[in-house]
Amino acid sequence: MRRLLLLLLTLWFTTNLLAVDATLKIEKDVEQRARIALVDGSAQHHEKFFDILLSDLKISGHFLADSQLYRGGFSDSFIDPKLKSRDYLLKYNLLSGNGTKLYIRLLRASDGTELYKKSYSIPNSAKIPFVAHKAISDINAYLKYPDISWINRYVVFTRYTAAKTSEIILADYTFTYQKPIIRGGLNLFPKWADADQRTLYYTSYKGTLPTLYKIDIYTGSKSRIISSEGMLVCSDVSRDYRKILLTMAPHGHADIYEMDLSTGSKKKVTNFNGIDVSGKYVDDERNIVFVSNRLGYANVFRKGVDTPGVAPVVYHGRNNNACDAHDNRVVYSSRESSSSFGRNTFNLYLTSSRGGDTRPLTTTGSNQFPRFSSDGSVVLYIKQSGRGSAIGYINLASSQSLLFPVSINKIQSIDW
C-alpha cells in the first residue's frame, strides 16, 4: 500500500513538474518576441488581408502581434498613445483595382521613427495572400530574425474530385489562394523538382502504366521521366535536384529506387517482398528513412543508400504509415487508437534518423501528411477532427502552431 502511495505521489510530482517546465518555456518565448500592432491606412479595409498578415506574424514565432485592428493614416508618423508600449507598428495601405498594390511602413512604436518601407505590386489580385507573406518575410529579414521565407512558397497538393479523377492544385500556405494546375484523369503525388518551384514531378494514370512526368508550371511543357507497372511515386528529391527517390513495383511489390536523372540509371535501394514506400533522404543523403510493413505492420525504418542493413527508427505505435525527413530529423504520423473503421487518432511525432529525442507534436484528432518546410523549421500537416478539416503548421523552434480550416474533398498527397 505504501509503495502504491509512493508511486502515485511520484507520478503526480513528475506530471506537475513537467507542466511547470512547459509553462516556463512559453513565458520565456513570449518575452523574446517583438510586440507589434497592425495599422491599416487603406481606404477600404480588407479583413482577409489583415487576417493573413496576423497569421504570418504569429507563425514566424518572432512577433507578438495585436489581434485587434487599428485604423490610421498611412503616411503620417502619429502613434496612438495606447500603442507606444509596443515595439513596432506596421502601417499598410492596400490598393485594389487594376491589379493590387501594397505599401508598408515599419515604425518604432516609442517615437514613430520610420525603420523600413517598401511597396509591392501584382497584376493578379487572386495572389494577394502572397503579397502579405512577402511583406512580413521582408520585415522579418530587416529585423534580422531567423529566415521565414518558407511562407512565400507554394504548397502543391492533389485532391480527389470523383472516382479515378483528381486535380493537382497550387496554394499559398494558408490555402487562401488555390488554383488547379493539372485537371483531367487521375494525376497524383506532386513533388517539387527544383528550388524555385518552377517544375514539379507527378504521376499520371492516363495510359496502361503509371507514368512519372516533370512539368513546368509556368509554360505547361512536360517531359516523361519513367513508367512502371503497378505504382510509381517520386517520394524525394536530392538537394542538388539531380537524383530522385522512387517507389516502383515492377515485380508486384513496392520497393524504393534511386534514379540518377542525368544518366537515367536506377539503383534498387530496398528489397523486400512486402511494402516499402515513402523513401526520404537523411544524414547527408547517405541514408534513407522509409515506411515498411516488414515487421507485420507499417513502421518507419532507416537504411543506407549503398549498404544493406535496415533498422527501425520508431519503437512505438502499431501503424506509423507516413513520414517526412529533413537533414537528420524525421516527422511521422502514428495511429494511437485501434478502430479498424471510422476515425482513428493519429498523432505526429518528431524524432531523429537514429530514433532518439522523440517528442510528440500533436495530441488530439487525426493528424496526417506531415511535411517539413524547405528549411526544416516548420511542419505542415492535415488535421481531421470533429470540427472538420484543417491545414496545420507547427513552428518547431517557437512551438507556435496555426490551423487554417479547409473545405476540400479528400487530399491525396501534398508537398511544399
Contact 203, 211 (CB under 8 A): yes
How many CB atoms lie under 10 A from the CB of residue 10?
10
Residue 140 or 321 having the CB closest to other proteins: 321
Q: Is 189 in the site for other proteins (CB under 8 A)?
A: yes
Query: Closest approach of Cβ 270 to other proteins, in Å?
Result: 12
Site string for other proteins, 225-254 (x = CB under 8 A): ----xxx-x-x-----------x-x--xxx
Pairing of strands 222-227, 211-216: antiparallel
Scanning 124-132, 181-189, 356-364, 384-392 for contacts with other proteins by CB under 8 A, the matching segment is: 181-189
Report the residue from 298, 300, 325, 348 that binds other proteins according to the rule CB under 8 A: 298
**Residues 108-143 as b or e (16 or more Cβ within 10 Å = b):** bbeeeeeeeeeebeeeeeebbbbbbbbbbbbbbeeb
Q: Say how far apart CA 63 and CA 33 lie, in whole Å.
A: 5
- Work out which of 28, 219, 265, 341 binds other proteins, going by CB under 8 A: 341
Closer to other proteins by CB, 56 or 276: give it: 276
> Smallest gap, in angstroms, from Cβ of residue 198 to other proteins?
24
- The minimum distance between CB 328 and other proteins, in angstroms, equals 22
Considering only residues 95-114, where is the footprint of other proteins by CB under 8 A? none
Is residue 286 near other proteins by the rule CB under 8 A? no
CA distances from 197 to 66, 68, 80 (A): 33, 35, 42
182 vs 124, 167, 227, 353, CA distance in Å?
A: 20, 6, 19, 34
3-class DSSP string for 316-359: CCCCCCEEEEECCEEEEEEECCCCCCCCCCEEEEEEECCCCCCE
- Give the nearer residue to other proteins in terms of CB position, either 123 or 252: 252
> Taking CB under 8 A as the rule, does residue 188 contact other proteins?
yes
Tell me how far, at minimum, the Cβ of 160 lies from other proteins, in Å: 6
> Binding residue for other proteins (CB under 8 A) from 368, 389, 395, 400?
368
**Binding to other proteins by residue 163, rule CB under 8 A?**
yes
Q: What does DSSP say about strands 401-406 and 287-292: parallel, antiparallel, or unpaired?
A: unpaired
Q: What secondary structure letter does DSSP report for 16?
A: H
Our CB check for other proteins shows the closer of 34 and 322 to be: 322
Q: What is the DSSP string of 25-37?
A: HHHHHHHHSEEEE
Contact 254, 277 (CB under 8 A): yes
SS3 assignment, position 103: strand
Q: Which is nearer to other proteins, 145 or 272 (CB)?
A: 272
Q: Which stretch in 56-64, 171-179, 237-245, 275-283 sits in contact with other proteins by CB under 8 A?
A: 275-283
Q: Which stretch binds other proteins (CB under 8 A): 16-24, 121-129, 341-349, 356-364?
A: 341-349
| Per CB under 8 A, 166 contacts other proteins | yes
Distance separating alpha carbons of residues 71 and 7, to the nearest angstrom: 57
Strand ranges inside 33-98, DSSP E: 34-40, 63-65, 70-71, 88-97
Asked if 406 touches other proteins (CB under 8 A), the answer is no
Cell of 182: 493539372
Q: 210, 317, 365, 392: which one contacts other proteins (CB under 8 A)?
A: 210
Q: Which of 44, 208, 307, 338 binds other proteins (CB under 8 A)?
A: 208
Q: Cβ contacts of residue 103 below 8 Å, gap of 6+? A: 74, 92, 93, 95, 117, 118, 119, 120
Footprint of other proteins on this chain (CB under 8 A)? 160, 163-166, 186, 188-189, 205, 208-210, 229-231, 233, 235, 247, 249, 252-254, 274-278, 291, 298, 321-322, 333, 340-342, 344, 368-369, 410, 412-413
